[in-house]
Amino acid sequence: MPQVVLVNPQIPPNTGNIARTCAATGTELHLVGPLGFEISDRYLKRAGLDYWPYVKLHYYESFIQFQTIHQQRGGRLLGFSVGGSANYVQFEYQANDWLLFGSETTGLPTEVLAACDATLYIPMAEPGVRSLNLSVSVSIGLFESRRQLGYLYS
Protein backbone atom coordinates (compact mmCIF):
# COMPACT_ATOMS: atom_id res chain seq x y z
CA MET A 1 0.00 0.00 0.00
CA PRO A 2 1.35 3.48 -0.82
CA GLN A 3 2.78 5.48 2.06
CA VAL A 4 2.75 9.23 2.72
CA VAL A 5 5.95 11.11 3.48
CA LEU A 6 5.94 14.74 4.62
CA VAL A 7 9.32 16.42 4.29
CA ASN A 8 9.77 19.44 6.57
CA PRO A 9 6.07 20.19 7.20
CA GLN A 10 5.56 23.59 8.87
CA ILE A 11 1.88 23.93 9.79
CA PRO A 12 0.56 21.67 12.57
CA PRO A 13 -3.12 21.61 11.48
CA ASN A 14 -2.13 20.45 7.97
CA THR A 15 -0.10 17.58 9.40
CA GLY A 16 -2.92 16.74 11.80
CA ASN A 17 -5.43 16.62 8.94
CA ILE A 18 -3.08 14.41 6.93
CA ALA A 19 -2.63 12.12 9.93
CA ARG A 20 -6.41 11.81 10.14
CA THR A 21 -6.59 10.86 6.43
CA CYS A 22 -3.82 8.31 6.95
CA ALA A 23 -5.65 6.85 9.96
CA ALA A 24 -8.87 6.52 7.97
CA THR A 25 -7.12 4.74 5.10
CA GLY A 26 -4.66 2.63 7.10
CA THR A 27 -1.77 4.45 5.41
CA GLU A 28 1.62 4.81 7.08
CA LEU A 29 2.66 8.43 7.68
CA HIS A 30 6.35 9.35 7.69
CA LEU A 31 7.44 12.76 8.98
CA VAL A 32 10.90 13.94 7.95
CA GLY A 33 12.45 16.76 9.95
CA PRO A 34 13.18 19.36 10.66
CA LEU A 35 9.54 20.05 11.45
CA GLY A 36 8.09 23.51 11.93
CA PHE A 37 6.45 22.36 15.18
CA GLU A 38 6.79 19.86 17.99
CA ILE A 39 5.12 16.46 17.67
CA SER A 40 3.33 17.29 20.92
CA ASP A 41 1.91 20.55 19.47
CA ARG A 42 -1.69 21.02 20.60
CA TYR A 43 -2.80 22.24 17.15
CA LEU A 44 -1.36 19.11 15.57
CA LYS A 45 -3.16 16.91 18.09
CA ARG A 46 -6.38 18.89 17.74
CA ALA A 47 -6.46 18.57 13.94
CA GLY A 48 -5.92 14.82 14.24
CA LEU A 49 -8.73 14.64 16.81
CA ASP A 50 -8.87 11.37 18.71
CA TYR A 51 -7.55 9.37 15.72
CA TRP A 52 -3.88 9.46 16.74
CA PRO A 53 -3.96 5.89 18.11
CA TYR A 54 -4.87 4.75 14.58
CA VAL A 55 -2.00 6.57 12.85
CA LYS A 56 0.99 4.45 11.85
CA LEU A 57 3.42 7.32 12.47
CA HIS A 58 7.17 7.30 11.85
CA TYR A 59 9.54 10.21 12.47
CA TYR A 60 13.01 10.81 11.02
CA GLU A 61 15.28 13.68 11.99
CA SER A 62 16.57 14.06 8.43
CA PHE A 63 16.01 12.92 4.87
CA ILE A 64 19.21 10.87 5.09
CA GLN A 65 17.77 8.96 8.05
CA PHE A 66 14.53 8.40 6.10
CA GLN A 67 16.48 7.13 3.06
CA THR A 68 18.00 4.36 5.19
CA ILE A 69 14.52 3.02 5.99
CA HIS A 70 13.38 3.48 2.39
CA GLN A 71 16.36 1.49 1.09
CA GLN A 72 15.59 -1.32 3.53
CA ARG A 73 11.92 -1.48 2.55
CA GLY A 74 12.20 -0.67 -1.17
CA GLY A 75 9.69 0.98 -3.46
CA ARG A 76 9.68 4.10 -5.58
CA LEU A 77 9.91 7.65 -4.27
CA LEU A 78 7.29 9.83 -5.97
CA GLY A 79 7.72 13.54 -5.36
CA PHE A 80 4.67 15.76 -5.69
CA SER A 81 5.63 19.22 -6.91
CA VAL A 82 4.13 22.05 -8.94
CA GLY A 83 7.14 21.52 -11.23
CA GLY A 84 6.57 17.77 -11.58
CA SER A 85 6.97 16.10 -14.96
CA ALA A 86 3.95 13.74 -14.93
CA ASN A 87 0.28 14.41 -14.28
CA TYR A 88 -0.64 12.50 -11.10
CA VAL A 89 -3.75 10.98 -12.75
CA GLN A 90 -1.87 9.69 -15.79
CA PHE A 91 0.87 8.11 -13.68
CA GLU A 92 0.73 4.36 -12.98
CA TYR A 93 1.11 3.71 -9.25
CA GLN A 94 2.55 0.62 -7.59
CA ALA A 95 1.62 -0.81 -4.19
CA ASN A 96 5.02 -0.05 -2.63
CA ASP A 97 5.21 3.62 -3.70
CA TRP A 98 6.17 6.37 -1.26
CA LEU A 99 4.28 9.64 -1.92
CA LEU A 100 6.50 12.58 -0.92
CA PHE A 101 5.21 16.07 -0.20
CA GLY A 102 7.25 19.11 0.85
CA SER A 103 6.67 21.97 3.22
CA GLU A 104 3.80 24.37 2.74
CA THR A 105 6.13 27.28 2.00
CA THR A 106 8.91 25.81 -0.15
CA GLY A 107 7.78 22.38 -1.39
CA LEU A 108 10.26 19.53 -1.68
CA PRO A 109 13.93 20.49 -1.43
CA THR A 110 16.05 20.09 -4.58
CA GLU A 111 18.03 17.19 -3.11
CA VAL A 112 14.81 15.32 -2.28
CA LEU A 113 13.42 15.88 -5.78
CA ALA A 114 16.70 14.57 -7.20
CA ALA A 115 16.29 11.35 -5.17
CA CYS A 116 12.78 10.74 -6.53
CA ASP A 117 12.08 8.09 -9.16
CA ALA A 118 9.37 10.35 -10.62
CA THR A 119 7.89 13.78 -9.95
CA LEU A 120 4.17 14.33 -10.22
CA TYR A 121 2.00 17.42 -10.41
CA ILE A 122 -1.65 18.14 -9.74
CA PRO A 123 -2.95 20.35 -12.57
CA MET A 124 -4.62 23.63 -11.68
CA ALA A 125 -6.69 25.75 -14.07
CA GLU A 126 -5.78 29.14 -12.57
CA PRO A 127 -2.12 30.08 -13.20
CA GLY A 128 -2.25 32.70 -10.44
CA VAL A 129 -2.68 29.99 -7.79
CA ARG A 130 0.77 28.78 -6.71
CA SER A 131 -0.31 25.54 -5.08
CA LEU A 132 -3.04 23.68 -3.24
CA ASN A 133 -3.15 23.25 0.52
CA LEU A 134 -0.79 20.47 1.64
CA SER A 135 -3.51 18.33 3.23
CA VAL A 136 -5.64 18.65 0.08
CA SER A 137 -2.70 17.67 -2.14
CA VAL A 138 -1.92 14.62 -0.02
CA SER A 139 -5.55 13.51 -0.13
CA ILE A 140 -5.72 13.92 -3.90
CA GLY A 141 -2.50 11.96 -4.50
CA LEU A 142 -3.22 9.27 -1.93
CA PHE A 143 -6.77 8.59 -3.10
CA GLU A 144 -5.76 8.46 -6.77
CA SER A 145 -3.05 5.92 -5.99
CA ARG A 146 -5.50 3.90 -3.88
CA ARG A 147 -8.14 4.10 -6.63
CA GLN A 148 -5.74 2.79 -9.26
CA LEU A 149 -4.58 -0.02 -7.01
CA GLY A 150 -8.11 -1.10 -6.09
CA TYR A 151 -7.95 -0.08 -2.42
CA LEU A 152 -11.13 2.02 -2.55
CA TYR A 153 -13.34 -1.01 -3.00
CA SER A 154 -12.55 -2.80 0.22
Report the distance separating Cα 91 and Cα 46, nearest Å: 34
Task: Flag whether 36 is marked binding.
Answer: no
Task: Flag whether 145 is marked binding.
Answer: no
* Residues found in the chain: 154
Task: Flag whether 122 is marked binding.
Answer: yes
Provide φ and ψ at 129, rounded to 5°: -90, 120
Could you tell me the strand order of the sheet in which 56-60 lies? 56-60, 28-32, 3-7, 98-101, 77-80, 118-121, 86-87
Report the distance separating Cα 137 and Cα 4, nearest Å: 11
Binding residues for S-adenosyl-L-methionine: 102, 122, 131
Binding residues: 102, 122, 131
